[in-house]
Amino acid sequence: MLSADSIHPQPTRCARSEALDILTERVPAAKAAAAQALYMHVLAGETRVSAQRSLDEPPGLPGRPERPELVEPRKLGRRSMQSPEGRAVLLHALAHIEFNAINLALDAVWRFSDMPDAFYLDWLKVAAEEAHHFSLLSARLAEFGHAYGDFPAHDGLWDMCERTRGDVLARMALVPRTLEARGLDASPPIRARLQQAGDHASAALLDVILRDEIGHVLIGNRWFRHLCDKAGIDVHQTYLRLSDEYHAPKLRGPFNFEARRDAGFEEEELAALAGLEAQQRPSD
């Protein structure tokens, strides 16, 4: 007698092992396309999540191209957005952030076992959306006559990924809630400068990215709180402890309070940021 599984066979592909395979991919466009496809396969039920599976880390993570050259942040010069070359440098920097963000989301999927299935689906969604951002920025960069890899970049995002590789709680605290949340703060002034330069097409990309990044930070907040609640520890004190322990970048204003509120930050946290911003404001 045929079983239901033989008529409708269960998917055998593992989303977490596929995420690891995509993470090793060195060609940016191929990585972006594969990340988007994997999310679609999971939504369609063609690929399953094996939360309990333990995966071995291969050497050389993450897969990335030979270019751009990675340098210390202080060695990255600034250029005026009033010139096309300056805007190309900015678009390249944003594309580099999004490429790294694909890697960060994929790393969360494969690395951390025994999380709820919703955790993996959330981060696969993030990887797909970061891939979409990267593709949009790459296409816009091409309109300036450049490609990803043409300018140097820094490795700050992946550095924090390395530091938090053994602690999912620290990862949720310090990547989405700290590094990606800084993007919420940076987006409005960058957009305003692009608009001022008359580059409305590039400014429109910032609107798309900000909308999605609010959701990504919200996902980070959700899982950070889930882990804190599960461990019976205080959210705010734990965040401060982890920031010190892992030497997270110090937060600096101005802060995008509206976006941070939409991304799930609590009023207590926003009040603390408002106080920090007031302290940092130059006195008259």
Q: What is the pLDDT of residue 72?
A: 82
- Which SS3 state, helix, strand or coil, does residue 190 take? helix
Per-residue pLDDT of 99-150, as tens digits, reads: 999 999 999 999 999 999 999 999 999 999 999 999 999 999 999 999 999 9
What is d(CA 106, CA 23) in angstroms, rounded to the nearest whole number?
6
**Burial bucket for residue 24 (CB in 10 Å: 0-12, 13-18, 19+):** middle
Rounded to two decimals, what is the model's pTM?
A: 0.93
Of 1-5, 252-256, 273-277, the least confident: 1-5
pLDDT at site 2: 40
All structural domains of the chain with their residue ranges? 11-63+86-141, 155-284
Residue pLDDT, tens place only, 38-73? 999 999 999 999 999 989 999 999 999 999 998 887
Q: How confident is the model at residue 92 (pLDDT cuts 50, 70, 90)?
A: very high
Asked if 48 and 10 count as a contact pair (C-beta separation under 8 A), the reply is: yes
Q: Which two tokens stand for residue 222?
A: 């959700």
Residue 48 CB neighbours (<10 A) = 17
Minimum mean pLDDT range among 69-78, 79-88, 107-116, 233-242: 69-78
Give the CA-trace dihedral at 82, 86, 90, 91, to 10 degrees. Answer: 90
Percentage of the chain beyond pLDDT 90 is 85
Contact predicate 184/217, CB 8 Å: yes
The pLDDT value given to residue 155: 81
Question: What gap in Å lies between CA 45 and CA 48, rounded to an integer?
Answer: 7
DSSP label of 251: P
Rounded average pLDDT over 76-94: 88
As a whole number of angstroms, the distance between CA 53 and CA 111 comes to 10
Q: Is 3 exposed, middle or buried (0-12, 13-18, 19+ CB in 10 A)?
A: exposed
